[in-house]
Amino acid sequence: MTAQERGELLDRIAFTTSIQDCVATDLVIEAVTEDLDLKREILGEVDGLVSDHVIWCTNTSSLSVTQISTAVSQPSRVVGLHFFNPAPVQDFVEIVRTVVTDNAVVEQVREFVGLIGKEAVICEDKAGFIANSLLFGYLNHAASMYEQKYASREDIDTAMRLGCGLPMGPLALLDLIGLDTAYQILDTMYREGRDRLHAPSPILKHMVTAGLKGRKSGRGFYTYAEPGSPQTIADDLTPRATSAGQQVRAVSTVGVVGSGTMATGIIEVFAKSGFAVTFVARSVDKIDKVHASISRSLEKALQRGKISEDDVAATRARISGTMQLEDLAGVDLVLEAIAEDLAIKTALFENLDEICKPGAVLATTTSSLPVVDLAAVTSRPGDVVGLHFFNPAPVMKLVEIVDTVATSPDVIATAIDVVQRTGKVGVRCGDRAGFIVNALLFPYLNDSIKMAEGNYATTEDIDSAMKLGCGYPMGPFELLDVVGLDVSLAIQQTLYREFREPGFAPAPWLEHLVTAGYTGRKAGRGFRSYA
Mean pLDDT, range 380-390, rounded to an integer: 97
How far are the Cα atoms of 198, 300, 366, 411, 436 from residue 386, in angstroms, in the given order? 31, 30, 7, 10, 13
367 is catalytic: yes
492-530 pLDDT, tens digit per residue, is 999 999 999 999 999 999 999 999 999 999 999 999 999
310-319 pLDDT, tens digit per residue, is 999 999 999 9
Q: Which residue of the set 367, 368, 464, 488 is catalytic?
A: 367
277-312 pLDDT, tens digit per residue, is 999 999 999 999 999 999 999 999 999 999 999 999
Largest Cα–Cα distance of the chain, in whole Å?
A: 86
Residues in the chain: 531
Mean pLDDT, range 340-346, rounded to an integer: 93
Mean pLDDT, range 188-201, rounded to an integer: 89
Q: Which residue of the set 400, 408, 478, 488 is catalytic?
A: 400
315-339 pLDDT, tens digit per residue, is 999 999 999 999 999 999 999 999 9
Q: Strand, coil or helix: what is 330?
A: coil
Percent of the chain with pLDDT over 70: 99
Residue 61's φ and ψ, nearest 5 degrees, are: -100, -10
Indicate if the pLDDT at residue 368 is higher than 90: no
**Which residues, other chains included, contact 397 with Cβ-Cβ below 8 Å and sequence gap of 6+?**
162, 423, 424, 425
Angle between helices 131-147 and 202-209 (to 10 degrees): 80
How far are the Cα atoms of 60, 73, 117, 246 from residue 107, in angstroms, in the given order? 20, 21, 16, 65
Mean pLDDT, range 53-64, rounded to an integer: 92
Indicate if the pLDDT at residue 240 is higher than 80: no
Indicate if the pLDDT at residue 232 is higher than 80: yes
Mean pLDDT, range 13-23, rounded to an integer: 88
Mean pLDDT, range 423-443, rounded to an integer: 95
| pLDDT classification of 243: cutoffs 50, 70, 90 | very low
Contact 358, 385 (CB under 8 A): no
Amino acid, res. 149: K
Please report the domains of the chain, with CATH numbers, ordered by start residue: 16-124 (3.40.50.720), 131-233 (1.10.1040.10), 253-430 (3.40.50.720), 437-523 (1.10.1040.10)
Q: Which residue of the set 82, 141, 198, 388 is catalytic?
A: 388
Instruction: Determine the distance from the C-alpha atom of residue 81 to the mean position of all C-alpha atoms in its chain, rounded to a whole number.
Output: 26
483-493 pLDDT, tens digit per residue, is 999 999 999 99
Q: Which residue of the set 140, 297, 408, 438 is catalytic?
A: 438
Q: What pLDDT, on the 0 to 100 scale, is given for residue 241?
A: 65
Render the burial of 455-471: b for 16+ CB within 10 Å, e for the rest: ebbbbebbbbbbbbbbe
Q: What pLDDT, on the 0 to 100 scale, is given for residue 192?
A: 84
**Which residues, other chains included, contact 164 with Cβ-Cβ below 8 Å and sequence gap of 6+?**
437, 441, 472, 473
Mean pLDDT, range 439-446, rounded to an integer: 96
Contact 439, 499 (CB under 8 A): no
Indicate if the pLDDT at residue 110 is higher than 50: yes
140 is catalytic: no
Indicate if the pLDDT at residue 410 is higher than 80: yes
Residue 295's φ and ψ, nearest 5 degrees, are: -60, -40
Closest-CA residue to 426 (of 435, 439, 417, 438): 417
| Mean pLDDT across the chain | 94
388 is catalytic: yes
